[in-house]
Structure 1
Amino acid sequence: MDLRQLQQFVALAETGNFHRAAERLHMAQPPLSISIRKLEDALGTPLFVRTSRGVRLTQAGEAALHDARRALFHAGQARAAALAAAHGERGALRVGFVGSATYALLPKLIPAFRAAHPGIELILHESTSASILDRLERHQLDAGLVRFPILHSGGYTLMPLENDEFVAAVPADSRFAERDAIALKALAGEPFIMHPSAEVPNLQAIAMLLCQQAGFVPRVTQEAVQVQTIVSLVESGLGVALVPSVAARYINRRVRFLRLASPRPAARIGIALATSTDSDDRQVQRLLEVASTVVA
C-alpha cells in the first residue's frame, strides 16, 4: 500500500464511480481499476461492492476510509513541514549566547526573530564565547552570540552586532566613586576581579593588555566567568573590574561605572553573531537577516 493507492481509494469512495474518480485523478479508468484491485488483494478483503451504477463501500471499506484520509492529511503535513524547513520557515535553531548579551541585544533580537519567523523554534544556551565557538565547530550549535575580538581562528564567521568598550567598575563607597572618568593607571594598587583565562580568554587578554598599556600588571584576587557575577563581586567590595560598558545599563546604586580617560583609544570590544563557515541552513540565514535588520 502506498500514498498513491490511498488517494485513489479515497477518490473512488467519494465519487462512487470509477469514471468520475479517474477524471478527478487525471488518469485512465482501467489503470485505476487495476490499482484498486491490487489494494484489495494486499489488504485481503474487498473495499467496494461493484454494481451496474457504480461502487459503494463495504464494511471494511467504511472502516478504512477515515484512516486513509488521516494518512493522506498527515502525509501532506509532513511534506509541507519538510518544504517549510527547507525554505527556513520551520524547524529549530540552537543559539548559544554570552551572559552580557542579555543586557540589550537579546531583548531586541528574540522578539524580532519570533515575529518574523514564528514557525522556527529558538533553543537558547547560555555559555562562554570559547565554549560557544567550540560547540559551533562541533555542529552542536547553529549560531552563537559571542564576545569579539576573537583571539584564535576557526571554522566560523562573525557578524558584529554591538560595539562597546571597557569601563571601570568600582564600589560606590570607593574613593574613586565620585568621578565620571578615570585613568586606568590610578587603579594600579587596587585588587582586580577578572575573567579566568581558561574560560573567557578574549576579555581577560584584552583587559590585561589595557592594564599593561597603562603601565602596570593588575593584582588579580578574584575571578568570575559572567559579567553580572563580576559586578556583584565589585558590589561586595572585593575589588575593581574592567567590564563592558553595556553592564551600566542596569542601575546599581552600590557600583559606579567610570569611563576610562586613559589609555586612549580604548580597546574596542563587542558582541558578534557567529555562524559556521560551511553552514547553508536556511534557518541560520533567517537569523542573520533579522540580526542585520535589528542592528540597522
Structure 2
Amino acid sequence: MELRQLEYFVAVAEEGSFTRAAERVHVAQPGVSAQVRRLERELGHDLLDRSGRAVTLTDVGAAVLPWARAALGSVESARRTVEEMAGLVRGAVRIGMVVSCGIPDLPELLSAFHSSFPGVEITLAEANSDSLIASLVDGQLDFALIGYAGGAPEGLSVRVLADEPLVAAVAESDPWCSRESVTVAELLERGLISLPPGTGLRGALDEACGSRRPRIAFEASAPPMVITLARRGLGPAVLASSMAGDLHAVRITDPVPHSRLAFAWRAEGPHSPAARALIGLAENRVTAG
C-alpha cells in the first residue's frame, strides 16, 4: 500500500469522478485509475462503485475512507513538524522595541529564546511606537515591544506588561511641587516636556487632552532626556508614574491618562516557525508572570 494510492482514492471519493480527481492531483486519469485498482487488489475488495454516472463508495470503501484520510493527515503533520524544526534551526525573527525602554522583559525574553533556539538569527531595532505598529502590520517586523494608549492597535495581538497612569513630574523648584494632583485643564496651561508624537506616552497625553493640543515647550526622543530637562526646572515632564524617579510625581486627573507597554504581533497573517516559537514563549512568560 502506497501513500499515493490512498491520496488518489480519497480524491476520487471526494470528487465523485476519476477525471476531476486526476485534475486535482495533477496526474493523468489512467494513472489514477490504475493506482486505485492496485489498492483494491491489495485489500481484496472494491472500494468504488463505477457502475453509475458518478463514482460512489462501496460499503467497504466508506469504511476505509476515514482511515485513508487519517493516514494522509498524519503524514502531512509529520511533514509540517519537520519543516518547522528546520525553520527553527535556520530561521530568523525581526524584532522592534520602543526607544530607550528600561523594562527588562524583552532582553530576558530574547535571552531565553536564544538559549532554546540558538540557530535562529535575531535582529532588533528601536523606533517609536507608531513606526513599530506600522512595521508589524505590513510584515516588516515579526514581534515588538510597543507603547500605546486606549485599545489595542488594530490588526495586532498584544500582551500587556505595564498599564500606568501618567504624571506631571516636576523639580523641587516648580510651582506644582507641593501639589498632589492637577487636572488636564491645568496641564494645558503649562509648557510641558514630553516625548514626540508617535510614542505611547505622547499618544496618551494627546488622547487625554481631547480636541485641545498640549503646549510642548521641550520635546526629547527618550525618557532620560525628558527627566533631565524636568530636573533642571524647565517645566513638568509628562511621564509614566514609574519613570518619575527623584522628581515629584503629580497625579493627572479629569481624565486620568494611561499608557500601556506590551508585546505585540500581527493578529493574522503568516508567521515563520521561529516567529511562532517566540510568540508562544512570550505568551507563556506573560501568563506565568
TM-score (norm 2): 0.59
* Cα gap change, 1:188 to 1:155, in 2 (>3 Å): closer
In the alignment, what sits opposite 2:239? 243
**Aligned-pair identity (%):** 26
Please point out which of 245, 249, 274 is paired with 2:264: 274
1:239 Cα deviation (Å)?
A: 1.7
Provide the rounded CA distance (Å) in 1 between the counterparts of 2:98 and 2:194: 16
The residue correspondences of 1:197-216 to structure 2 (distance < 5 A) are: 197=197, 199-200=198-199, 202-211=200-209
Structure 1 residues 116, 173: closer, same or farther in 2, change over 3 A? farther
Alpha-carbon spacing, 1:284–1:101, altered in 2? closer, same or farther (3 Å): farther
Aligned-pair CA distance for 1:188: 4.7
Q: CA deviation at 1:178?
A: 4.9
Could you tell me which residue of structure 2 aligns to residue 29 of structure 1?
none
Shift of 1:155: 4.2
Structure 1 unaligned residues grouped into runs of 5+ = 1-80
How many Å apart are 1:125 and its aligned residue? 0.4
Letter in 2 for 1:191: G
Q: CA RMSD in A?
A: 3.1
Matches within 5 A, 1:1-296: 84-86=85-87, 88-99=88-99, 101-149=101-149, 154-178=154-178, 181-184=180-183, 185-197=185-197, 199-200=198-199, 202-211=200-209, 218-248=214-244, 251=245, 253=246, 255-260=247-252, 262-263=253-254, 266-276=256-266, 277-295=268-286, 296=289
Distance of 2:135 and 2:162 partners within structure 1: 22
CA distance in 2, matches of 1:83, 1:284: 11
- CA separation in 1, counterparts of 2:206 and 2:241? 17
* Contact 1:161-1:271 within 8 A present in 2 as well: yes
- Larger radius of gyration between Structure 1 and Structure 2: 1
TM-score w.r.t. structure 1 length? Answer: 0.57
Alpha-carbon deviation of 1:217?
A: 5.6
| Gap change, CA 1:112 and 1:258, over 3 Å in 2 | farther
Q: 1:259 to 1:292 in 2, by over 3 A?
A: farther
Shift of 1:133: 1.9
The whole-number CA distance in structure 1 between the counterparts of 2:115 and 2:178 is 44
Whole-Å separation in 2 of the counterparts to 1:284 and 1:231:
35
Alignment gaps of 5+ in structure 2: 1-81
Q: Is the 8 A contact 1:192 1:240 kept in 2?
A: yes
